[in-house]
Structure 1
Amino acid sequence: MAEPDPRVERLSGTKRELLSRWLAGSPAAAAPETGAERTVAAIWREVLDLGEVGRDDDYFALGGDSVHAIVIVAKLEEAGLRITAQDLFDLATVRGVAERAVLGAVPSVAAGPSRTEHPLGPMQEGMLYHSAGGSGPGAYVVQVCCSLTGELDPAAFRAAWAAVLAATPALRGSFGWAGRAEPHQVVAATAEPDVEFLDWRDRGVPERAEALAEYLDRDRERGFDLGRAPLFRLALMRESATGWRCVWTHHHLILDGWSQQLVLADVLASYAALQTGAEPRLPRRPAMPDYLDWLRPRDAAADLAFWGRQFAGLPGPSRIAGPGCVRGQVLAPRRGEVAVTVPESATAALNSLCRGHGLTVSTVLYGVWGLLLGELCASADVVFGVTVSGRPPSLPGATELVGMLINTLPLRVRCTGEAAVLPWLRELRDRLAGMREHGHLPLSRITRAIGLNRGETLFDTIVVIENFPVAVTGGTSGALAIGDVRTLVDEGYPLVLEAVPGAEIRLRARHDPSRLTAAEVRGMLDACTGCLDALVADPAQPVCRLRARLAERHRLSREQEFLDRRDSAGQQLRTARRRGAADIGGTHAGEGS
């Protein structure tokens, strides 16, 4: 039997499937014919990392998803072809997209002059309100941790960060509100990176792990003075001759996850240049004022009317945890985390189902979470938060912009009825596309448009799909090997479900242990993975049957959790009794001696 080709093994599931079809003698795809088709195909090849794309190839079958759509639509706009993400989902072929695309002038992508002050973006408004309103200092503090292995030059590492800080206005931003009707962001002309070097080479592995945990706790509680730039700092802990631990801490107000990766890519490129004796040559990226200029002429009244229609007749909020945000304050205790992995075979089956039916994995995960909330809230009509990139494809350079553009939007899911699951999911996919078109408002304004009073919460769980373009996840960058990358953050909600796509989908639930126990969260994730299996096994079933299967899986999971706790408590009691008997016996023996 022939050994597997390692080059094939490194390919994604989608690319292996396409390769197997080609090897099986599938007919060659029809080549693009018109200029517009060739432009669309070239952009698909670049973004989806494919060799050839035919004019009738299906976008989803090629591995496209909602984040790829953001990049593709933006690049088409830059090429003078204007479509929406919904057009891409509906038409799904090069031919269809090229026929629908509206020919327009190629927009300029040159960044304008730097501004020293500008207003806040939609997400920043809510974050600043909570951060400045007495919340714990760790609220919205992001900590990115990784290991670095190799010949690290500390001076060049610091110089690389200094170069990126000088080139990136968002990193020099701070926030002010005194004497103003509205808070604003201030960009300092210059700033110096705060880099701390620690020597942990005299500590063993357990001691280093304990020291890192203690450092992260202190670092998070230290927080930031939001009126003083830069709102980030770094620590490098030397663990051996060639081993380091790096912690990059920043406030979420200045960067979203997409921007975080752009900054890290620039730092690594600068460090590589400095190592060779060259000056770093960094790209001139768009900045927050470019987004705010795009946002200013939008019809906010039309956006608010959209949200009012979306939530007409909603029976009420969907909350599963006890109170924890007191008078607008995010308390930010140390978060608990429960994680599960969807096995590679199950992930491949789910991806295949999505490709075959014009869906994205993120849409399926949203649908499953809606079904779970329906059970937990005993409701057929629920709402939860979804985090969107907030990067409008019609903004030139949107995919290269560094700042805080993400937004949390309320997603309503009606989770019962005899409708088949696949049409229900496609309707959910289309609703998500509409939400993104109207999603450039602060969540507080959306909830007021829905009819809630200030301070009322519509939901207490959010779902975050971490599928933005990633520059640093591990591997090698020049002479440095990067590993064990993890991000710690408190978004201010009692439960945040984070899904990380890949060969195996990773589901991580960050929760406030004072409001939801780890056992409760574990039962939720088990119900979700069971629901995914049931969906793949029978995609033609009605929504009500899939929900019933999820409910049964959740019930069984909670029962097993109860039995495990009972057995554990019984074992602890028996152990304590044996120790007590031994202590008594030892005392009697001593008295008789």
Structure 2
Amino acid sequence: MINKKQSTVEAIYPLSYMQQGLLIHHLSSELDQGFLNTECTLTGDFDLTLFQESCAFIVNRHDVLRSTIHWRNLEKPLHVFHKSKEIEIEYLDWIEASSTEKKTSWDKLKEDAYKNGAKLETGALLRITIAKISNSQFKMLWPMHHILLDGWSGSIIIKDLFSVYNSLYFKKTPQLDTLPNYKAYLKWTNELPEEDAKVFWKDYLKDYKTPLLFSSNIITTDKVETTISNTFNLFEKETNQIKDYCKENKITVNTLIQCIWSLVLAKFFNTKDVVHGTTVSGRAGDFPNIDLLAGMFMNVQPVRSKIDENMTFSNWFQNMQKLHFEARKFEYLSLETLYEYINWSENSTLFDSLVVFENYPALKAENNILEVSDIKSGLTSTYPVTLAVLPGIETKFVLTTSSKYVDSDMALWLINSLKKVLELITIKEITKYSVLIKSIDDFKKSGSEQIDKNNSVISDAYIAPKNNTELQLLQIWESLLGINQISTKANFFELGGKSLVAVKMFTLINRKFKTKLSATALLEHPTIEKLSNYISSDSKTESWKYVIPIKSKGDKNPLFCVHGGGGYVIFFNPLSNALNDDIPVYALQPAGLNNDSTMHDSIEKMALDYAKEIKEVQPNGPYNILTYCFSPAVGIEIANIFKEKGERTNLIVIDSIIKQEDFTDPERIKMRIYGFLNRVLKNPINAVKLMTINNYRRFLEPMVIKLFASSSKKNLDKITRNLVKIYINYGWYKNHTDDVLLILTEKADKKLNPTYIKSWEGITNGNVEVRYTTGKHHELFNSPHIESIANHIENSIYKK
């Protein structure tokens, strides 16, 4: 902990939303995207002593240079401002070195700075290196970190530094404008009325429900994430053409670039409604001299583009610009707060591509004894796709993409399409979207395999949640990461979790569990299991034995799928993928499957245990229970348990009949004999073969398994025989008191389905709704039949 009385601490503040994300990334990633090597060339009369005095003046002027970041053993990370700090200046004389040696040494200097990283806890802005190249030319390297300074602030500090140097050189007192007070600025922003921002963002993002994200598909599961950069330059002539186009259409170059990037995304995702992010200075408003204050004020705002095919680009650009200017009034607003305003709870982010249009304060000053030129600081971004635009006499475009989500073919398509759209609109003067879209080639995926996050388990072995805390964490993780069936032992960062996602995740966790945990806790507890243990360390959490989450995310009432006669539940996985994303799916597996509990000796006892765990997942009804093969009896018993508590149950029956093993009913006997004779007449060889297989499985296979099978196979056979036994012994003395959705296959024997329907009508007090699907009984949970079943369930149960 930091003891204010024993230190030179001047002030302590919590980290902003952006800073929290950058801290998580700094601590968790091998590639620290927040670290920057800012470099520039100095031409003129350089005096080391004067430079040291100038730096001391600037460190005293700008509080952020004296600040540090702390998180160890703290409930929440803190930004600490100190009363005094000294800056370290290294001076290197390379005047005698060759050009090649100078370049090699300079590159080595930057590489070493990057390897050493940012010392956030002691001061990440307190080291500058000056290299003397010639008697009148020097190079300056200033390592910094984005968590403390944004690009605008770096420009402010460099401008002030050499303004002070100039004054001291001419033996004058530096004359700089008074800086605003940081604490007063924070107080001012916190007291701004929320209503205007709420109204604007709710209207701006109204009806935008499903974000289109590059991170929806993982290209590679490599743990080390790399970046790819593609660039192109517009020469002076082309740059002037763009400026002329913008002037003629009364828009800024920034507006044009934002709109053109939207058009590229619209083509890529095949839509006319897209959202991307853009960086803003975070300094909007009428707070005095806010543009002079240095720190991490940069923010990210969503840019939504709804393309109107009937509108000319000129009119569309102008309309978009009005909205951009309106949004700038709320630059101070964090994405976290914005998400709360629009109730964005189902997804981690609205966008995962970012446009950075560099528009920093000019550094040129007249009559300075040292001229500052060739400033470079690089680009920091934790987004999968980032487009940086560097305007000037020439305009440079840099597209940086993550290898995890964007392969080289996709990156090239994006950068080439951007260049082409820019040319078609500003030079070829295409004015309508309908014409433009036909002039851009579709992106064609390469043969490389993509891993669909929505359908894949990104883990070598899926471990299901074993208690309610793990389930609630799983629901948050699935919602934020967009992945189904996350193992409780899967690592958040290896699943593609980003720093800002981690910050949002802990906002949800603290709200759900009424805790005050920092997102840095994820570094020590990066799995659901470890995080659950950390959260539940002071409370007893009972584990589940029967409930297995297949897809926990979604705001609709869950679908609970009861195992069939074999005890397996994995075959329900295709159903969870076929159903809408807002429908959670859970399976119920029998006792003893993992050799960890005694098997049930009756359907009634089984249903009691299942109902108890279903209640833990979903405290209140109505309940949706799906049964298949041997499990309808369990579903009826569960429904009756809930009925006694005054709650309704929708029973969904997949191609199953009650009393399946009943050989005493005359109608059933006739049906079986008729079916057998019909099969013999049509194909006697297949009929005999099928009969032989069935008899083998019924009578001989148990003996073979008992003598020769593995212990796991023996255990599964034991469970299967127990399930059949308790099913046969079930008395069928209770009716299902609510409705039944009966989904049947079309069968060769036309008498079978009426018999199925009659059996359910005889035991159901409510309505029996019958739907038909394709496929044979044992194929129903495979595509394309499962899509039909999912459609029936959605229409009959969830759309009523």
Q: TM-score, normalised by structure 1?
A: 0.66
Q: Decide whether the 8 Å contact of 1:174 with 1:231 is kept in 2.
A: no
CA pair 540-375 structure 1, distance change in 2 beyond 3 A: closer
Q: Which residue of 1 aligns with 2:214?
A: 320
2:190 is aligned, of 275, 296, 299, to: 296
Q: Which residue of 2 aligns with 1:428?
A: 320
Q: 2-side partners of 1:292 and 1:332: how far apart? A: 36
1:467 is aligned, of 350, 359, 370, to: 359
Structure 2, unpaired ranges of 5+: 1-8, 447-800
Please list, as runs of the form range in 1=range in 2, the aligned pairs for 1:182-201 lying within 5 A after superposition.
Answer: 182-201=76-95
Please list, as runs of the form range in 1=range in 2, the aligned pairs for 1:163-312 lying within 5 A after superposition.
Answer: 163-177=57-71, 182-201=76-95, 203-229=97-123, 231-300=125-194, 303-304=197-198, 306-312=200-206
1:504 is aligned, of 373, 386, 394, to: 394
1:531 corresponds to 2:428: no
Q: 1-side partners of 2:129 and 2:377: how far apart? A: 15
SS in 1 for 2:59: helix
Between structure 1 and structure 2, the one with the greater Rg is: 2
Q: Decide whether the 8 Å contact of 1:336 with 1:511 is kept in 2.
A: yes
CA pair 518-247 structure 1, distance change in 2 beyond 3 A: farther
1:153 corresponds to 2:43: no
Q: Which residue of 2 aligns with 1:387?
A: 279
1:354 corresponds to 2:246: yes
Q: Please state how far the C-alpha of 1:341 moved relative to its aligned partner.
A: 2.1
Q: Decide whether the 8 Å contact of 2:389 with 2:396 is kept in 1.
A: yes
SS in 1 for 2:177: coil
SS in 2 for 1:488: coil
Q: What root-mean-square deviation, in Å, do the aligned CA atoms of Structure 1 and Structure 2 show? A: 3.3
Q: Decide whether the 8 Å contact of 1:164 with 1:266 is kept in 2.
A: yes
Q: Please state how far the C-alpha of 1:193 moved relative to its aligned partner.
A: 0.7
Q: Please state how far the C-alpha of 1:387 moved relative to its aligned partner.
A: 0.5
Q: Please state how far the C-alpha of 1:267 moved relative to its aligned partner.
A: 0.7
CA pair 296-536 structure 1, distance change in 2 beyond 3 A: same
Q: Please state how far the C-alpha of 1:164 moved relative to its aligned partner.
A: 0.3
Q: Please state how far the C-alpha of 1:365 moved relative to its aligned partner.
A: 0.6
Task: State the one-letter code of the partner of 2:352.
Answer: D
1:443 corresponds to 2:331: no
1:543 corresponds to 2:438: no
Please list, as runs of the form range in 1=range in 2, the aligned pairs for 1:336-415 lying within 5 A after superposition.
Answer: 336-415=228-307
Q: Please state how far the C-alpha of 1:455 moved relative to its aligned partner.
A: 8.0
Q: 1-side partners of 2:426 and 2:185: how far apart? A: 40
Please list, as runs of the form range in 1=range in 2, the aligned pairs for 1:549-588 lying within 5 A after superposition.
Answer: 549=439, 551-552=440-441
Farther off after superposition, 345-354 or 507-516: 507-516
1:490 corresponds to 2:380: yes
Q: Decide whether the 8 Å contact of 1:285 with 1:402 is kept in 2.
A: no
Q: Please state how far the C-alpha of 1:477 moved relative to its aligned partner.
A: 6.6
Q: Which residue of 1 aligns with 2:747?
A: none
Q: Which residue of 2 aligns with 1:456?
A: 348
Deviations 1:445-475 (A, max 9, x none): 4345555559834322211111232215xx9
Q: Decide whether the 8 Å contact of 1:346 with 1:533 is kept in 2.
A: no
1:123 is aligned, of 8, 12, 18, to: 18
Q: Please state how far the C-alpha of 1:315 moved relative to its aligned partner.
A: 4.8
Q: 2-side partners of 1:244 and 1:313: how far apart? A: 55
Q: 2-side partners of 1:237 and 1:518: how far apart? A: 37
Task: State the one-letter code of the partner of 2:251.
Answer: L
Q: Decide whether the 8 Å contact of 1:173 with 1:185 is kept in 2.
A: yes
SS in 2 for 1:384: strand
Higher relative contact order (CA 8 A, sep 6+): 1
Task: State the one-letter code of the partner of 1:207.
Answer: E
Q: Decide whether the 8 Å contact of 1:448 with 1:454 is kept in 2.
A: no
Aligned residues between the structures: 435
Q: TM-score, normalised by structure 2?
A: 0.50
Q: 2-side partners of 1:318 and 1:355: how far apart? A: 32
Q: Which residue of 2 aligns with 1:23?
A: none
Q: 2-side partners of 1:533 and 1:244: how far apart? A: 39
SS in 2 for 1:546: helix
CA pair 413-116 structure 1, distance change in 2 beyond 3 A: same
Task: State the one-letter code of the partner of 2:422.
Answer: L
Q: 1-side partners of 2:85 and 2:101: how far apart? A: 34
Q: Please state how far the C-alpha of 1:177 moved relative to its aligned partner.
A: 4.4
Q: Please state how far the C-alpha of 1:537 moved relative to its aligned partner.
A: 4.4
Q: 2-side partners of 1:361 and 1:547: how far apart? A: 21
SS in 2 for 1:394: coil
Task: State the one-letter code of the partner of 2:22.
Answer: M
Q: Please state how far the C-alpha of 1:386 moved relative to its aligned partner.
A: 0.4
SS in 2 for 1:215: helix
Q: Decide whether the 8 Å contact of 1:476 with 1:482 is kept in 2.
A: no
Deviations 1:468-516 (A, max 9, x none): 32215xx987343433321223221233212122333322223445654
CA pair 489-360 structure 1, distance change in 2 beyond 3 A: closer
Please list, as runs of the form range in 1=range in 2, the aligned pairs for 1:1-40 lying within 5 A after superposition.
Answer: none
Task: State the one-letter code of the partner of 1:361.
Answer: V
